[in-house]
Amino acid sequence: MKNDQISLGWNFSNSYVKLPTLFYSKQNPDPVEEPEIVIFNEVLAKQLGLNIIEHRKEAAAVFAGNQTPEGAIPIAQAYAGHQFGHFARLGDGRAILLGEHVTPDEERFDIQLKGSGRTPYSRGGDGRAALGPMLREYIISEAMHNLGIPTTRSLAVVTTGEPIHRETVLPGAILTRIASSHIRVGTFQYAANWGDKENLKTLADYTINRHFPDLEQSEERYLNFLREVINRQAFLISKWQLVGFIHGVMNTDNVTISGETIDYGPCAFMDTYDPATVFSSIDREGRYAYGNQPYIGAWNLARFAEALLPLLDDNQEQAVELAEKEISKFSELFGKYWLDGMRAKLGLMDEGQEDEELIKDLLQLMQEYRADYTNTFRALTLDKLDGEKLFEKEGFQLWYQRWQHRLNSQQEKETAIRLMRKSNPAVIPRNHRVEEALNAAVEEEDLSVMEKLLDALADPYAYSKQQEEYCEFPASTDQPYRTFCGT
């Protein structure tokens, strides 16, 4: 064990297990037959201070759960959540948290194995994961990171040598996920419903210490805690919207307190601009459609505020009043982040009274003529207006003149163009490209398609020649694109 820690560089700490056992169960991963690393994030490993490249066999044993590094205390976390509006008692049903790795720069990250076997929270599931969904999370989470969006990340995917039985028999796999923490809105809901006020306070104090240490001496620490979480979620969801990302399961158990995106099951990126776009096969009512994401964000945060009520004020009515006041600010916060981001996408460096109308008029035209979201802004950035029916329409040409007049009022055209290039990705992980990569990896054991896609996504703002083939709109089909949660 000691040799493994020295060679691989693990430096585990376990602050979460100091919380009451209400919040977790100690649980070792289930060993697998033949662990083999399929893909490994060398850049992230170096940032974490790990030395894995020369020790792949030993690393595979850790990533598969066959070997526990020295200092790790494996646990499954307990939490609850509103899933599509329905409240349930949940927990890590197929994930094990090995512990918290502390980097040479004293940063703390959760190391979690996803697909590592049954836990006390599995609720009848097998606790395992299939290769395709784990590779999907690897692709999307790394793309989100490169797009500049707060996110959990992927360190490695290993195959297990064991079959997984879903609709068909699939190769089994385990993902190693990295997060600032896995504390969720659902963790606080769990404390509020199955713990007491002291448990809730202990969790809140721990979370403040870990993620918001500046609040520890605050007189209104729990109210300020609520404010900070609201602010981070408003920022995060605005960043999603700006690149056309649609989270398929915005349940409260998938809302992190740290403000990182988590759970990349039935998520996808929008091609044709339409606020009603939804991809998830289980979101039959469109609850988490693109245009609904800000409203669901506020709804989820209201559930967080409800869980915190006992800490906000001893008087229930006063606590509710305080919570409602803070939740009511979400819309304004989100609107500001979104408007600032849209201004940047159009190269607007200052605030103009007509900006919001200018932006919404463009989006309306994009929806009317079914324009590609990413490619429209890419074309505006390059000032090459071709490839979209939208650009031929009189309404767009009138809009373009208004936009040019607004740009010229700044008298800094080159700076505006640089701002647009930093704000409009040339490439996103388009759904047909992701499926192409997954099919090659799973069906043909060919990772080259995925590796080439990851290379193109490594710097989405590069506007390189290599990226051009990944900018192409998918061929039309009679069937809408659907994503699945992978459980």
- The answer to the question of residue 400 being in a domain is yes
Backbone angles phi, psi at 65, to 5 degrees: 85, 5
Based on C-alpha coordinates, what's the Rg of the chain? 23
In the listed set 375, 390, 423, which residue is the last one of a domain according to the structure?
A: 423
Q: How many angstroms separate the CA atoms of 266 and 382, rounded?
A: 32
**135 and 99 within one domain:** yes
Yes or no: say if 330 and 301 are a contact pair by the CB < 8 Å rule: yes
Dihedral in degrees, nearest 10, Cα atoms 396, 401, 402, 407: 120
**320 and 261 within one domain:** yes
In the listed set 423, 444, 466, which residue is the last one of a domain according to the structure?
A: 423
Find all residues with CB under 8 Å of 449, minimum gap 6, and list them: 436, 437, 440, 441
Using CA atoms, how far residue 267 sits from 141, 168, 431, 483, in Å, is: 11, 22, 10, 7
Q: Which residues pair with residue 165 across a beta bridge?
A: 169
Q: Which residues pair with residue 372 across a beta bridge?
A: 272
Q: How many angstroms separate the CA atoms of 38 and 247, rounded?
A: 26
CA 267 from chain centre, in angstroms, equals: 9
Q: How many angstroms separate the CA atoms of 179 and 111, rounded?
A: 7
- The answer to the question of residue 454 being in a domain is no
Selected catalytic residue, list 92, 253, 263, 283: 253
Q: What is the pLDDT at residue 480?
A: 58
Using CA atoms, how far residue 157 sits from 36, 74, 116, 331, in Å, is: 9, 19, 12, 38
- Identity of the amino acid at 181: S
Q: Find the helix or strand (DSSP H, E) in which 114 lies.
A: strand 108-114
> What tokens were used for 341?
């981001």
Dihedral in degrees, nearest 10, Cα atoms 127, 133, 135, 139: -130
Q: Find the helix or strand (DSSP H, E) in which 194 lies.
A: helix 185-194
Q: What is the pLDDT at residue 1?
A: 42
**273 and 205 within one domain:** yes
> What tokens were used for 90?
């949940």
Q: What is the pLDDT at residue 6?
A: 45
Q: Which residues pair with residue 163 across a beta bridge?
A: 171
> Which is nearest to 456 in space by CA: 431, 426, 432?
426
Domain count, the chain: 3
Print pLDDT tens along the chain (487 aa): 444 544 789 999 999 999 999 999 999 999 999 999 999 999 999 999 998 877 888 999 999 999 999 999 999 999 999 988 899 999 999 999 999 999 999 999 999 999 999 999 998 889 999 999 999 999 999 999 999 999 999 999 999 999 998 888 999 999 999 999 999 999 999 999 999 999 999 999 999 999 999 999 988 999 999 999 999 999 999 999 999 999 989 999 999 999 999 999 888 999 999 999 998 777 778 899 999 999 999 999 999 999 999 999 999 999 999 999 999 999 999 999 999 999 999 999 999 999 999 999 999 999 999 999 999 999 999 999 987 899 999 999 999 999 999 999 987 889 999 999 999 999 999 999 999 999 999 999 999 999 999 999 999 999 999 999 999 887 765 455 556 555 4
Active site (annotated) includes residue 383: no
Q: What crossing angle do the helices spanning 197-211 and 293-312 adopt, rounded to 10°? A: 120
- The answer to the question of residue 215 being in a domain is yes
In terms of residue numbers, what domain contains 360? 339-423
**68 and 15 within one domain:** yes
**292 and 361 within one domain:** no
In the listed set 288, 308, 338, which residue is the last one of a domain according to the structure?
A: 338
Q: How many angstroms separate the CA atoms of 296 and 288, rounded?
A: 7
pTM for the model stands at 0.95
Backbone angles phi, psi at 432, to 5 degrees: -70, -30
**161 and 20 within one domain:** yes
Token pair 């939208």 is found at 390
